[in-house]
Amino acid sequence: MDITLTSLEMEHSKLLGSKIATEIASQGGWIAFSHYMEMALYEPGMGYYSAGAHKLGAGGDFTTAPELSPLFGAAIVSTILPVLEGLKAQGLPAKILEFGAGTGKLAESILTRLNDLGFQLDGYDIIEISPDLTQRQQERLHKLAAELELSTKCSWLSSLTENFKGVILANEVIDAIPCDAIIYQNGFWYWCGVSFAEDKFFWKTGKPVEQALLPESLLSGNFSEGYVTELHPQANAWIRQIAKQLDAGLFLTFDYGFPESEYYHPQRIEGTLMAHHRHHAIQDPFYLPGLCDLTTHVEWAQIARSALAENVDDVYLTNQAAFLLDAGIGDIALEIGDPSNPETFLPISNSLQKLLSEAEMGELFKAFAFSKKLDDLLPGYVLEDLPGLRGRNRL
């Protein structure tokens, strides 16, 4: 792996590393991995997401589905449009709120598709913690509004308002919420935290994990000595908060992950934690703090249970390919492109292949949704009546 850094990048990473090392020392020589991950990603002015860097797209560290093709956002519109129309029919503002909007590509494709369909969205709100991504979103969406003469108001918020009515979206957000690492030793689960010595971060086993925090799969499974995996209390708390504050409407998210039985499979001995830098996958989570993205796969069963704990109507999980096909992405592709013209249709075909192929994003990435008071907005509707969510529910 050949990664060449500028002197500025090296200095940036060293400064953040020094700050994390100082924090470890202040805590007695050990911190939970979630604390390390929080600082590496979100330390003000220094963390991966809170300092200026080109993160997304061909020149960044990873490429997301909205970056691949506007068809992704156009297909999502097929799912959310009935909900938005239901809001209008009830005399309510038709609003979308997106968490972690990246470069703004998803918002752009959704707003463009809604405009093409003649639907007037009342508001598109974004909650974004990255200052440089916020700037890119604002530039992109202000330009789009001028080009299409949109009256939709785009706003950037610091938090989700209570009793929100509308559609909430999140693409590849949960995987970046700090997780905790645990290890199986001598028949017990222990916290796997971070220490620092001789100018290096390293793993260090901590106290036993309280049994009440362990999912059933980890309590009853047969695991090998030294098996490492993750727990996701912060991600589950985030879902519960959204489910609590959504008064009526739909939550829809996309991310890579597995349900509990696959996530905690005895053969997945090293967990799912990964670092990413300039399209390189890196096993060492302590490599270049502040310059690398840190992610884990999503454990969807507990995410679903967290939503149900806040009295949502229903929960739904499928793979990305099944969602997009049921949402009509093939018909949308034919609508915007001419298959008889290879020059224009080949890029569309290539992006479809990446979005749908089992070997690419089609199977690993999942679509997860829950609704609240959907019947109030769309009388007679249940979650699985919406396009994209009409196939087999994996939960």
The answer to whether residues 245 and 307 belong to one domain is yes
Q: What is the pLDDT of residue 57?
A: 44
Tell me how far the alpha carbon of residue 112 is from its chain's centroid.
Answer: 22
Q: What is the pLDDT of residues 233-262, one digit of tens each?
A: 999 999 999 999 999 999 999 999 999 999
List, edge to edge, every strand of the sheet that includes 200-208.
200-208, 188-197, 180-185, 228-231
pLDDT over threshold 50, residue 31: yes
The answer to whether residues 369 and 306 belong to one domain is yes
- Any domain includes 210: yes
The answer to whether residues 318 and 190 belong to one domain is no
At 270, which CATH number?
3.40.50.12710
Q: What is the pLDDT of residues 317-339, one digit of tens each?
A: 999 999 999 999 999 999 988 88
Q: Which residue has the tokens 């399209």?
A: 279
For 97-195, where are the alpha helices, taking DSSP H only? 105-116, 131-148
Q: pTM here?
A: 0.94
Confidence of residue 56 (pLDDT cuts 50, 70, 90): very low
The number of domains in the chain is 2
| Amino acid making up residue 156 | W
User: What are residue 276's DSSP bridge partners?
Assistant: 281, 293
Confidence of residue 136 (pLDDT cuts 50, 70, 90): very high
Of the candidates 196, 228, 260, which is a domain's last residue? Answer: 228
Mean pLDDT to the nearest integer, 369-380: 97
Q: Range of 43's domain?
A: 7-51+178-228
**Percentage of residues in the chain with pLDDT exceeding 90?**
89
Q: Could you tell me which residues come within 8 angstroms of residue 2 by beta carbon, excluding any fewer than 6 positions away?
A: none
Q: What is the pLDDT of residues 81-130, one digit of tens each?
A: 999 999 999 999 999 999 999 999 999 999 999 999 999 999 999 999 98
Of the candidates 228, 263, 289, which is a domain's last residue? Answer: 228
Torsion of CA 315, 320, 322, 324, to 10 degrees: 100
Q: What is the pLDDT of residues 209-235, one digit of tens each?
A: 999 999 999 999 999 999 999 999 999
Q: What is the pLDDT of residues 157-202, one digit of tens each?
A: 999 999 999 999 999 999 999 999 999 999 999 999 999 999 999 9
